[in-house]
Amino acid sequence: MFTVVTTKLPVQTLSVFYIINIYSIGGISVDVTGQVWISSTENEPWVSHPLEATTAEAVDLAFTGQLHQNIEGFGGCFNELGFEALNILADEDRSAVLHSLFHPEGDHRFSICRLPIGASDYALEWYSLNETDGDYAMEHFSIERDRKYLIPYIREALKLNPELKLFASPWSPPTWMKFPRVYNYGSLRWEKDILEAYALYFVKFVQAYAEEGITIHQVHVQNEVVADQKFPSCVWTGGQLLEFIRDYLGPAFEQHGLATEIWLGTINAPEPWDEWMKKKDSSFDAYAHTVLSDPEAYKYVKGVGYQWAGKYGIQRTVQAYPELRYMQTENECGDGENTWFYAKYVFNLYQHYFTNGVNAYIYWNMVLLPKGRSTWGWEQNSMITVDPGGVKAVNNPEFYVMKHFAHFVGPGSSRIGLKGKWTGNAVAFETPEGSRVLVIANPFKESRTVTLSNDGTHYKLELDAESFNTLLL
Protein backbone atom coordinates (compact mmCIF):
# COMPACT_ATOMS: atom_id res chain seq x y z
CA MET A 1 0.00 0.00 0.00
CA PHE A 2 1.26 3.48 -0.81
CA THR A 3 0.83 7.11 0.06
CA VAL A 4 4.31 8.31 -0.97
CA VAL A 5 4.95 10.16 -4.23
CA THR A 6 8.50 11.00 -5.30
CA THR A 7 10.31 12.51 -8.24
CA LYS A 8 13.80 11.95 -9.58
CA LEU A 9 13.94 15.48 -11.01
CA PRO A 10 14.05 18.83 -9.17
CA VAL A 11 10.90 20.87 -9.69
CA GLN A 12 12.66 23.51 -11.78
CA THR A 13 13.86 20.77 -14.15
CA LEU A 14 10.45 19.16 -14.31
CA SER A 15 8.95 22.33 -15.71
CA VAL A 16 10.99 21.91 -18.88
CA PHE A 17 9.23 18.63 -19.60
CA TYR A 18 5.77 18.99 -18.12
CA ILE A 19 3.52 20.95 -15.81
CA ILE A 20 2.58 19.17 -12.58
CA ASN A 21 -0.32 19.54 -10.16
CA ILE A 22 -0.42 17.93 -6.73
CA TYR A 23 -3.67 16.28 -5.62
CA SER A 24 -4.19 15.22 -2.03
CA ILE A 25 -4.81 11.58 -2.89
CA GLY A 26 -3.37 10.84 -6.28
CA GLY A 27 0.11 12.28 -6.14
CA ILE A 28 1.25 13.93 -9.32
CA SER A 29 -1.25 14.65 -12.07
CA VAL A 30 0.36 15.68 -15.33
CA ASP A 31 -0.99 18.28 -17.74
CA VAL A 32 1.22 17.72 -20.70
CA THR A 33 3.14 20.37 -22.63
CA GLY A 34 5.89 18.02 -23.78
CA GLN A 35 7.09 14.48 -23.22
CA VAL A 36 6.41 12.49 -20.07
CA TRP A 37 7.80 9.34 -18.45
CA ILE A 38 6.23 8.13 -15.21
CA SER A 39 7.19 4.90 -13.43
CA SER A 40 5.87 3.01 -10.42
CA THR A 41 7.64 0.41 -8.30
CA GLU A 42 6.52 -1.20 -5.06
CA ASN A 43 8.30 1.37 -2.89
CA GLU A 44 8.26 4.35 -5.25
CA PRO A 45 4.96 4.81 -7.07
CA TRP A 46 4.38 7.52 -9.65
CA VAL A 47 7.92 8.81 -10.15
CA SER A 48 8.79 11.29 -12.90
CA HIS A 49 11.85 10.75 -15.14
CA PRO A 50 13.53 12.81 -17.85
CA LEU A 51 12.95 11.53 -21.34
CA GLU A 52 15.63 12.36 -23.86
CA ALA A 53 16.36 11.22 -27.40
CA THR A 54 19.44 9.10 -27.95
CA THR A 55 21.30 7.22 -30.65
CA ALA A 56 21.04 3.45 -30.59
CA GLU A 57 22.21 0.59 -32.73
CA ALA A 58 19.32 -1.77 -32.01
CA VAL A 59 15.66 -1.12 -31.31
CA ASP A 60 13.69 -3.24 -28.81
CA LEU A 61 10.26 -1.69 -29.33
CA ALA A 62 8.72 0.53 -32.00
CA PHE A 63 5.36 1.96 -32.99
CA THR A 64 4.03 0.51 -36.24
CA GLY A 65 1.61 3.34 -37.01
CA GLN A 66 -1.26 0.87 -37.41
CA LEU A 67 -4.54 2.00 -35.84
CA HIS A 68 -6.69 -0.55 -34.01
CA GLN A 69 -9.83 -0.19 -31.85
CA ASN A 70 -11.24 3.01 -30.39
CA ILE A 71 -11.06 3.41 -26.62
CA GLU A 72 -14.22 4.25 -24.69
CA GLY A 73 -12.49 4.47 -21.33
CA PHE A 74 -11.99 3.01 -17.90
CA GLY A 75 -14.04 2.64 -14.75
CA GLY A 76 -15.09 0.59 -11.74
CA CYS A 77 -18.24 -0.77 -10.13
CA PHE A 78 -20.56 0.99 -7.68
CA ASN A 79 -21.24 -1.38 -4.78
CA GLU A 80 -22.87 -0.96 -1.37
CA LEU A 81 -19.81 -2.04 0.62
CA GLY A 82 -17.71 0.53 -1.23
CA PHE A 83 -20.15 3.30 -0.37
CA GLU A 84 -20.12 2.21 3.28
CA ALA A 85 -16.31 2.37 3.31
CA LEU A 86 -16.27 5.84 1.74
CA ASN A 87 -18.66 7.16 4.36
CA ILE A 88 -16.17 6.38 7.14
CA LEU A 89 -13.88 9.11 5.83
CA ALA A 90 -13.97 12.76 6.79
CA ASP A 91 -15.68 14.91 4.17
CA GLU A 92 -12.41 16.32 2.83
CA ASP A 93 -10.80 12.90 2.43
CA ARG A 94 -13.94 11.43 0.93
CA SER A 95 -14.08 14.23 -1.62
CA ALA A 96 -10.43 13.62 -2.47
CA VAL A 97 -11.08 9.94 -3.18
CA LEU A 98 -14.06 10.75 -5.40
CA HIS A 99 -12.07 13.45 -7.22
CA SER A 100 -9.27 10.97 -7.80
CA LEU A 101 -11.61 8.46 -9.39
CA PHE A 102 -14.10 10.53 -11.36
CA HIS A 103 -12.99 14.10 -12.00
CA PRO A 104 -11.79 14.76 -15.58
CA GLU A 105 -8.57 16.18 -14.09
CA GLY A 106 -8.20 13.55 -11.35
CA ASP A 107 -6.00 10.50 -11.22
CA HIS A 108 -8.21 8.05 -13.11
CA ARG A 109 -10.74 10.18 -14.97
CA PHE A 110 -13.26 7.34 -15.11
CA SER A 111 -15.67 7.56 -18.04
CA ILE A 112 -17.70 4.32 -17.88
CA CYS A 113 -18.76 2.50 -14.71
CA ARG A 114 -20.87 -0.45 -13.68
CA LEU A 115 -23.67 -1.00 -11.18
CA PRO A 116 -25.65 -4.10 -10.16
CA ILE A 117 -29.35 -4.62 -10.79
CA GLY A 118 -30.29 -5.81 -7.31
CA ALA A 119 -27.65 -7.29 -5.04
CA SER A 120 -24.12 -8.07 -6.14
CA ASP A 121 -21.81 -10.11 -3.93
CA TYR A 122 -20.62 -6.75 -2.54
CA ALA A 123 -24.08 -5.70 -1.39
CA LEU A 124 -24.69 -5.56 2.35
CA GLU A 125 -27.23 -8.38 1.98
CA TRP A 126 -29.36 -10.09 -0.64
CA TYR A 127 -32.13 -8.10 -2.27
CA SER A 128 -33.83 -7.83 -5.64
CA LEU A 129 -35.98 -5.05 -7.03
CA ASN A 130 -39.15 -7.14 -6.86
CA GLU A 131 -39.51 -10.07 -4.46
CA THR A 132 -43.31 -10.19 -4.80
CA ASP A 133 -44.06 -13.73 -5.94
CA GLY A 134 -46.03 -13.88 -9.17
CA ASP A 135 -45.88 -10.15 -9.92
CA TYR A 136 -45.58 -10.62 -13.68
CA ALA A 137 -46.71 -7.03 -14.34
CA MET A 138 -43.95 -5.65 -12.07
CA GLU A 139 -46.44 -3.60 -10.07
CA HIS A 140 -44.26 -3.90 -6.98
CA PHE A 141 -40.96 -3.16 -8.71
CA SER A 142 -38.96 -0.67 -6.63
CA ILE A 143 -35.48 0.86 -6.48
CA GLU A 144 -36.15 2.26 -3.00
CA ARG A 145 -33.14 0.47 -1.53
CA ASP A 146 -30.85 1.88 -4.23
CA ARG A 147 -31.83 5.39 -3.13
CA LYS A 148 -29.98 4.73 0.13
CA TYR A 149 -26.69 3.39 -1.25
CA LEU A 150 -26.07 3.13 -4.99
CA ILE A 151 -27.87 6.23 -6.23
CA PRO A 152 -26.12 8.65 -3.82
CA TYR A 153 -22.78 7.04 -4.75
CA ILE A 154 -23.50 7.43 -8.47
CA ARG A 155 -24.70 11.01 -8.04
CA GLU A 156 -21.43 11.94 -6.33
CA ALA A 157 -19.59 10.63 -9.38
CA LEU A 158 -21.90 12.38 -11.84
CA LYS A 159 -21.36 15.71 -10.08
CA LEU A 160 -17.67 15.38 -10.86
CA ASN A 161 -18.15 13.98 -14.37
CA PRO A 162 -21.61 14.52 -15.87
CA GLU A 163 -20.46 12.62 -18.99
CA LEU A 164 -19.92 9.39 -17.02
CA LYS A 165 -21.61 6.44 -18.74
CA LEU A 166 -23.20 3.56 -16.83
CA PHE A 167 -23.87 -0.09 -17.55
CA ALA A 168 -25.76 -2.53 -15.34
CA SER A 169 -26.28 -6.25 -14.90
CA PRO A 170 -28.09 -8.49 -12.41
CA TRP A 171 -26.23 -11.04 -10.32
CA SER A 172 -29.51 -12.92 -9.80
CA PRO A 173 -33.12 -12.51 -10.90
CA PRO A 174 -35.75 -12.24 -8.15
CA THR A 175 -35.87 -15.54 -6.29
CA TRP A 176 -39.43 -16.38 -7.35
CA MET A 177 -38.26 -16.42 -10.97
CA LYS A 178 -35.61 -19.08 -10.33
CA PHE A 179 -35.28 -22.80 -9.86
CA PRO A 180 -34.60 -23.46 -7.08
CA ARG A 181 -36.17 -20.36 -5.55
CA VAL A 182 -32.98 -18.98 -4.02
CA TYR A 183 -30.72 -16.04 -4.88
CA ASN A 184 -27.61 -18.21 -5.07
CA TYR A 185 -27.02 -21.08 -7.46
CA GLY A 186 -29.77 -22.19 -9.85
CA SER A 187 -31.12 -20.75 -13.07
CA LEU A 188 -34.04 -18.79 -14.48
CA ARG A 189 -37.32 -20.70 -14.80
CA TRP A 190 -37.74 -21.18 -18.54
CA GLU A 191 -41.43 -20.33 -18.76
CA LYS A 192 -42.98 -17.76 -21.10
CA ASP A 193 -44.61 -15.74 -18.30
CA ILE A 194 -41.34 -15.63 -16.36
CA LEU A 195 -39.29 -14.61 -19.41
CA GLU A 196 -41.72 -11.82 -20.29
CA ALA A 197 -41.73 -10.61 -16.69
CA TYR A 198 -37.95 -10.67 -16.48
CA ALA A 199 -37.62 -8.61 -19.66
CA LEU A 200 -40.06 -6.13 -18.10
CA TYR A 201 -37.87 -6.12 -14.95
CA PHE A 202 -35.01 -4.74 -17.06
CA VAL A 203 -37.32 -2.16 -18.65
CA LYS A 204 -38.55 -1.00 -15.24
CA PHE A 205 -34.97 -0.70 -14.00
CA VAL A 206 -33.91 1.57 -16.86
CA GLN A 207 -37.07 3.66 -16.51
CA ALA A 208 -36.77 3.98 -12.72
CA TYR A 209 -33.20 5.22 -12.93
CA ALA A 210 -34.19 7.65 -15.68
CA GLU A 211 -36.77 9.10 -13.30
CA GLU A 212 -33.90 9.71 -10.87
CA GLY A 213 -32.05 11.61 -13.60
CA ILE A 214 -29.57 8.76 -14.17
CA THR A 215 -29.14 7.30 -17.65
CA ILE A 216 -28.36 3.60 -17.96
CA HIS A 217 -26.43 3.38 -21.22
CA GLN A 218 -26.12 -0.42 -21.39
CA VAL A 219 -27.53 -3.54 -19.77
CA HIS A 220 -25.71 -6.88 -19.74
CA VAL A 221 -28.07 -9.82 -19.34
CA GLN A 222 -26.31 -11.63 -16.48
CA ASN A 223 -23.19 -11.29 -14.38
CA GLU A 224 -20.97 -14.33 -15.01
CA VAL A 225 -23.24 -16.61 -16.99
CA VAL A 226 -21.46 -19.83 -15.93
CA ALA A 227 -21.09 -18.92 -12.22
CA ASP A 228 -23.02 -21.24 -9.90
CA GLN A 229 -22.04 -19.62 -6.60
CA LYS A 230 -23.00 -19.24 -2.94
CA PHE A 231 -23.46 -15.51 -3.53
CA PRO A 232 -26.12 -14.06 -5.89
CA SER A 233 -25.74 -15.88 -9.21
CA CYS A 234 -27.67 -17.51 -12.04
CA VAL A 235 -26.46 -19.91 -14.71
CA TRP A 236 -27.36 -19.39 -18.38
CA THR A 237 -26.59 -21.41 -21.49
CA GLY A 238 -25.73 -19.76 -24.77
CA GLY A 239 -29.02 -20.97 -26.20
CA GLN A 240 -30.95 -19.35 -23.35
CA LEU A 241 -29.15 -16.03 -23.84
CA LEU A 242 -29.99 -16.21 -27.54
CA GLU A 243 -33.68 -16.85 -26.93
CA PHE A 244 -34.05 -14.28 -24.14
CA ILE A 245 -32.35 -11.49 -26.10
CA ARG A 246 -34.07 -12.30 -29.40
CA ASP A 247 -37.60 -13.05 -28.22
CA TYR A 248 -38.00 -11.10 -24.98
CA LEU A 249 -35.46 -8.46 -23.97
CA GLY A 250 -34.84 -6.93 -27.40
CA PRO A 251 -38.54 -6.66 -28.29
CA ALA A 252 -39.35 -5.28 -24.80
CA PHE A 253 -36.79 -2.49 -25.18
CA GLU A 254 -38.19 -1.72 -28.65
CA GLN A 255 -41.77 -1.70 -27.38
CA HIS A 256 -40.93 0.77 -24.61
CA GLY A 257 -38.74 2.98 -26.78
CA LEU A 258 -35.57 2.52 -24.74
CA ALA A 259 -32.28 3.74 -26.18
CA THR A 260 -30.31 1.65 -23.68
CA GLU A 261 -27.99 -0.79 -25.42
CA ILE A 262 -28.20 -4.55 -24.90
CA TRP A 263 -24.84 -6.27 -24.49
CA LEU A 264 -24.00 -9.95 -24.45
CA GLY A 265 -22.39 -10.18 -21.05
CA THR A 266 -20.91 -10.68 -18.71
CA ILE A 267 -19.33 -13.89 -19.99
CA ASN A 268 -16.86 -15.60 -17.64
CA ALA A 269 -16.08 -18.39 -20.11
CA PRO A 270 -14.59 -20.44 -21.73
CA GLU A 271 -13.27 -22.23 -18.67
CA PRO A 272 -10.61 -24.72 -19.80
CA TRP A 273 -11.10 -26.85 -16.68
CA ASP A 274 -14.79 -27.29 -17.50
CA GLU A 275 -14.02 -28.13 -21.10
CA TRP A 276 -11.51 -30.82 -20.22
CA MET A 277 -12.64 -32.32 -16.91
CA LYS A 278 -16.40 -31.81 -16.89
CA LYS A 279 -16.99 -32.26 -20.63
CA LYS A 280 -19.02 -29.05 -20.43
CA ASP A 281 -18.79 -26.74 -23.43
CA SER A 282 -18.36 -23.12 -22.40
CA SER A 283 -16.38 -22.08 -25.47
CA PHE A 284 -16.76 -19.15 -27.85
CA ASP A 285 -18.97 -21.41 -29.95
CA ALA A 286 -21.22 -22.28 -26.99
CA TYR A 287 -21.80 -18.66 -25.95
CA ALA A 288 -20.81 -15.68 -28.10
CA HIS A 289 -20.98 -17.46 -31.44
CA THR A 290 -24.27 -19.17 -30.57
CA VAL A 291 -25.94 -15.82 -29.90
CA LEU A 292 -24.26 -13.64 -32.50
CA SER A 293 -24.64 -16.07 -35.39
CA ASP A 294 -28.42 -15.77 -35.06
CA PRO A 295 -29.43 -12.72 -37.17
CA GLU A 296 -32.50 -11.88 -35.10
CA ALA A 297 -30.57 -11.91 -31.82
CA TYR A 298 -27.54 -10.20 -33.35
CA LYS A 299 -29.55 -7.13 -34.37
CA TYR A 300 -30.16 -6.32 -30.70
CA VAL A 301 -26.59 -6.83 -29.45
CA LYS A 302 -24.27 -3.80 -29.46
CA GLY A 303 -21.29 -5.37 -27.74
CA VAL A 304 -19.84 -8.24 -25.73
CA GLY A 305 -18.58 -8.13 -22.15
CA TYR A 306 -15.96 -10.60 -20.93
CA GLN A 307 -14.39 -11.13 -17.50
CA TRP A 308 -12.34 -13.72 -15.62
CA ALA A 309 -12.16 -16.86 -17.85
CA GLY A 310 -13.56 -14.68 -20.62
CA LYS A 311 -9.96 -13.74 -21.30
CA TYR A 312 -9.78 -17.03 -23.19
CA GLY A 313 -12.73 -16.06 -25.41
CA ILE A 314 -12.05 -12.44 -26.34
CA GLN A 315 -9.63 -13.12 -29.21
CA ARG A 316 -11.89 -15.43 -31.22
CA THR A 317 -14.92 -13.22 -30.66
CA VAL A 318 -13.19 -10.09 -31.91
CA GLN A 319 -11.84 -12.00 -34.90
CA ALA A 320 -15.32 -13.25 -35.80
CA TYR A 321 -17.24 -10.03 -35.04
CA PRO A 322 -14.81 -7.09 -35.37
CA GLU A 323 -17.66 -4.64 -35.98
CA LEU A 324 -18.96 -5.00 -32.40
CA ARG A 325 -17.65 -3.25 -29.28
CA TYR A 326 -15.98 -5.09 -26.43
CA MET A 327 -15.37 -4.58 -22.75
CA GLN A 328 -13.45 -6.23 -19.95
CA THR A 329 -16.25 -5.93 -17.41
CA GLU A 330 -14.67 -6.95 -14.08
CA ASN A 331 -11.00 -6.94 -13.20
CA GLU A 332 -9.94 -10.16 -11.44
CA CYS A 333 -10.07 -9.41 -7.74
CA GLY A 334 -7.20 -11.14 -5.94
CA ASP A 335 -7.32 -12.13 -2.28
CA GLY A 336 -7.59 -8.89 -0.31
CA GLU A 337 -3.83 -8.65 0.31
CA ASN A 338 -3.30 -5.98 -2.37
CA THR A 339 0.23 -7.10 -3.19
CA TRP A 340 2.61 -5.80 -5.84
CA PHE A 341 2.93 -9.38 -7.08
CA TYR A 342 -0.78 -9.50 -7.91
CA ALA A 343 -0.64 -6.02 -9.44
CA LYS A 344 1.88 -7.41 -11.95
CA TYR A 345 -0.66 -10.07 -12.90
CA VAL A 346 -3.36 -7.42 -13.26
CA PHE A 347 -1.12 -5.36 -15.56
CA ASN A 348 -0.90 -8.41 -17.81
CA LEU A 349 -4.70 -8.58 -17.89
CA TYR A 350 -4.88 -4.99 -19.14
CA GLN A 351 -2.26 -5.77 -21.77
CA HIS A 352 -4.02 -8.96 -22.85
CA TYR A 353 -7.48 -7.49 -23.16
CA PHE A 354 -6.44 -4.32 -24.99
CA THR A 355 -4.14 -6.21 -27.34
CA ASN A 356 -7.07 -8.49 -28.17
CA GLY A 357 -9.50 -5.70 -28.91
CA VAL A 358 -11.49 -4.39 -25.93
CA ASN A 359 -12.70 -0.80 -26.02
CA ALA A 360 -12.98 -0.38 -22.25
CA TYR A 361 -11.52 -1.87 -19.08
CA ILE A 362 -13.54 -1.93 -15.86
CA TYR A 363 -12.14 -2.46 -12.38
CA TRP A 364 -14.25 -4.24 -9.75
CA ASN A 365 -14.31 -2.70 -6.25
CA MET A 366 -12.89 0.80 -6.32
CA VAL A 367 -12.94 1.27 -2.52
CA LEU A 368 -13.14 -1.25 0.34
CA LEU A 369 -12.21 -1.74 3.98
CA PRO A 370 -8.98 -3.65 4.83
CA LYS A 371 -9.01 -7.22 3.47
CA GLY A 372 -12.04 -6.35 1.33
CA ARG A 373 -14.25 -9.07 2.77
CA SER A 374 -17.59 -9.54 1.01
CA THR A 375 -20.91 -10.26 2.72
CA TRP A 376 -20.45 -13.86 1.55
CA GLY A 377 -16.93 -14.20 2.94
CA TRP A 378 -14.68 -13.60 -0.07
CA GLU A 379 -11.71 -11.27 0.50
CA GLN A 380 -10.82 -9.15 -2.53
CA ASN A 381 -8.47 -6.40 -3.62
CA SER A 382 -9.46 -2.80 -4.26
CA MET A 383 -7.82 0.26 -5.73
CA ILE A 384 -8.21 2.17 -2.47
CA THR A 385 -8.47 0.87 1.09
CA VAL A 386 -10.21 2.91 3.77
CA ASP A 387 -8.40 2.28 7.05
CA PRO A 388 -11.00 2.72 9.82
CA GLY A 389 -8.29 2.73 12.49
CA GLY A 390 -6.40 5.69 11.10
CA VAL A 391 -9.51 6.92 9.26
CA LYS A 392 -7.59 7.47 6.05
CA ALA A 393 -7.59 6.35 2.43
CA VAL A 394 -4.61 4.34 1.22
CA ASN A 395 -3.74 3.83 -2.44
CA ASN A 396 -3.06 0.18 -3.25
CA PRO A 397 -0.83 -1.19 -6.05
CA GLU A 398 -3.73 -1.59 -8.47
CA PHE A 399 -4.56 2.10 -7.99
CA TYR A 400 -1.32 2.77 -9.84
CA VAL A 401 -1.80 0.08 -12.47
CA MET A 402 -5.10 1.72 -13.41
CA LYS A 403 -3.60 5.21 -13.27
CA HIS A 404 -0.78 4.26 -15.65
CA PHE A 405 -3.49 3.64 -18.26
CA ALA A 406 -6.50 5.78 -17.43
CA HIS A 407 -4.71 9.01 -16.54
CA PHE A 408 -3.39 9.45 -20.07
CA VAL A 409 -5.76 7.41 -22.28
CA GLY A 410 -9.18 9.02 -22.47
CA PRO A 411 -12.30 8.32 -24.52
CA GLY A 412 -11.68 8.87 -28.20
CA SER A 413 -8.16 7.48 -28.08
CA SER A 414 -7.17 4.53 -30.25
CA ARG A 415 -4.91 1.59 -29.67
CA ILE A 416 -1.93 1.62 -32.02
CA GLY A 417 0.40 -1.15 -33.10
CA LEU A 418 3.77 -2.11 -31.66
CA LYS A 419 6.57 -4.36 -32.86
CA GLY A 420 9.68 -5.71 -31.19
CA LYS A 421 10.62 -8.10 -28.43
CA TRP A 422 8.97 -6.02 -25.66
CA THR A 423 5.58 -6.01 -27.39
CA GLY A 424 4.29 -8.68 -24.98
CA ASN A 425 4.87 -6.34 -22.03
CA ALA A 426 3.39 -3.19 -23.53
CA VAL A 427 0.36 -1.59 -25.12
CA ALA A 428 0.22 1.72 -26.98
CA PHE A 429 -2.44 4.32 -27.74
CA GLU A 430 -2.91 7.54 -29.67
CA THR A 431 -4.93 10.29 -27.99
CA PRO A 432 -7.45 12.54 -29.78
CA GLU A 433 -4.82 15.30 -29.57
CA GLY A 434 -2.35 13.17 -31.52
CA SER A 435 -0.01 12.21 -28.67
CA ARG A 436 1.26 8.66 -28.34
CA VAL A 437 0.99 6.82 -25.03
CA LEU A 438 3.10 3.76 -24.27
CA VAL A 439 2.35 1.70 -21.16
CA ILE A 440 5.09 -0.85 -20.51
CA ALA A 441 6.01 -3.13 -17.60
CA ASN A 442 9.35 -4.61 -16.62
CA PRO A 443 8.35 -7.92 -14.98
CA PHE A 444 11.90 -8.92 -14.09
CA LYS A 445 13.62 -8.68 -10.71
CA GLU A 446 16.40 -6.55 -12.18
CA SER A 447 16.32 -3.35 -14.21
CA ARG A 448 16.24 -3.67 -17.99
CA THR A 449 17.26 -1.30 -20.77
CA VAL A 450 14.74 -0.92 -23.57
CA THR A 451 15.33 1.17 -26.68
CA LEU A 452 12.12 2.65 -28.07
CA SER A 453 11.75 4.03 -31.58
CA ASN A 454 9.11 6.67 -32.27
CA ASP A 455 9.10 7.60 -35.97
CA GLY A 456 12.87 7.32 -36.11
CA THR A 457 13.60 9.07 -32.82
CA HIS A 458 15.12 6.69 -30.29
CA TYR A 459 14.73 6.74 -26.51
CA LYS A 460 16.83 4.67 -24.13
CA LEU A 461 14.67 3.58 -21.21
CA GLU A 462 16.18 2.19 -18.02
CA LEU A 463 13.14 0.38 -16.64
CA ASP A 464 13.29 -0.27 -12.90
CA ALA A 465 12.84 -3.84 -11.70
CA GLU A 466 9.18 -4.94 -11.46
CA SER A 467 7.96 -1.54 -12.60
CA PHE A 468 5.03 -0.09 -14.51
CA ASN A 469 5.81 2.79 -16.85
CA THR A 470 3.87 5.26 -18.96
CA LEU A 471 5.43 7.43 -21.66
CA LEU A 472 3.60 10.21 -23.43
CA LEU A 473 5.23 11.36 -26.66
pLDDT digits (tens, 9 = 90+) for 319-350: 999 999 999 999 999 999 999 999 999 999 99
In percent, the amount of the chain with pLDDT more than 70 equals 92
CA separation (Å) from 94 to 4, 90, 180, 231, 394? 19, 6, 41, 29, 12
Amino acid occupying residue 114:
R
Residue 384 lies in a domain: yes
Compute the average pLDDT of residues 54-78: 95
Compute the average pLDDT of residues 100-124: 99
Look at residue 16 in the predicted model and tell me its pLDDT: 24
Look at residue 57 in the predicted model and tell me its pLDDT: 76
Residue 93 lies in a domain: yes
Residue 326 lies in a domain: yes
Residue 427 lies in a domain: no
**Does the pLDDT of residue 388 top 70, yes or no?**
yes
pLDDT digits (tens, 9 = 90+) for 231-254: 999 999 999 999 999 999 999 999
Look at residue 266 in the predicted model and tell me its pLDDT: 98
Whole-prediction pTM? 0.93
Mean pLDDT is lowest, of 11-25, 225-239, 355-369, 404-418, for 11-25
Look at residue 271 in the predicted model and tell me its pLDDT: 80
Provide the 3-class DSSP secondary structure of residue 432.
Answer: coil
Q: Which CATH number covers residue 282? A: 3.20.20.80
Residue 149 lies in a domain: yes
Q: How many domains does the chain have?
A: 1
Residue range of the domain that includes 286: 72-413
Q: How many CA atoms lie within 13 A of 381 on its CB side?
A: 24
**Does the pLDDT of residue 13 top 50, yes or no?**
no
CA separation (Å) from 121 to 32, 45, 257? 40, 31, 31
**Does the pLDDT of residue 32 top 80, yes or no?**
no
Residue 215 lies in a domain: yes
Contact by Cβ (8 Å): 96, 399: no
CB atoms within 10 A of CB 68: 17
Residue 5 lies in a domain: no
Compute the average pLDDT of residues 149-158: 99
Q: Count helices and strands (H / E) in the chain.
A: 13, 25
Name the pLDDT band for 14 (thresholds 50, 70, 90).
Answer: very low
End-to-end Cα distance, the chain: 29
pLDDT digits (tens, 9 = 90+) for 272-305: 776 667 678 999 999 999 999 999 999 999 999 9
Mean pLDDT is lowest, of 31-35, 56-60, 368-372, 451-455, for 31-35
Q: Where are the beta strands (DSSP E) in 252-350?
A: 261-267, 301-306, 325-328
The answer to whether the peptide bond before residue 180 is cis (omega within 30 degrees of 0) is: yes
Look at residue 235 in the predicted model and tell me its pLDDT: 98
Look at residue 12 in the predicted model and tell me its pLDDT: 26
